[in-house]
Amino acid sequence: MEQKGTKEIKELLDLALTGVEVGVAAQKDGHIGVEDLGLLLKLVPTIQPALDGIGEIPAELADLSTEEAADVVAHVMAKLVIDDAKARLVIEKALKAIVANYELIKAVKAA
């Protein structure tokens, strides 16, 4: 079986994790306001790469090898400076959130 790699998965996770990072930073002072708009600029470099290859995600996930899964975990560990167990939990939660958001978008478009 051909291995698709993990590039698109990592780019999508980068977008999701950067979104969380921006949200946490915006709430640091206890509220989100117009002064937090500049934080959104952190998202800009992650949006296009994540969207460009989003169609490849199902194939990447379908043929994900043990080595590739370890690569994704290592990527998240390095990005967030967390241990293996926390990285695996973050990936699981992020992928569930991404799927939920995708389903929401489909429902809104169908309305």
pLDDT at 2 over 90: no
Could you give the CA distance from residue 108 to residue 106 in angstroms, rounded to a whole number?
Answer: 6
pLDDT at 81 over 90: yes
Could you give the CA distance from residue 80 to residue 87 in angstroms, rounded to a whole number?
Answer: 8
pLDDT at 97 over 80: yes
Helices (H), 34-83: 44-52, 57-62, 66-80
Mean predicted confidence (pLDDT) in 80-96 = 96
- Domain positions in the chain are 7-110
pLDDT at 3 over 90: no
Could you give the CA distance from residue 17 to residue 106 in angstroms, rounded to a whole number?
Answer: 22
- Smallest CA-to-CA distance from 58 within 86, 111, 85, 98 is with 98
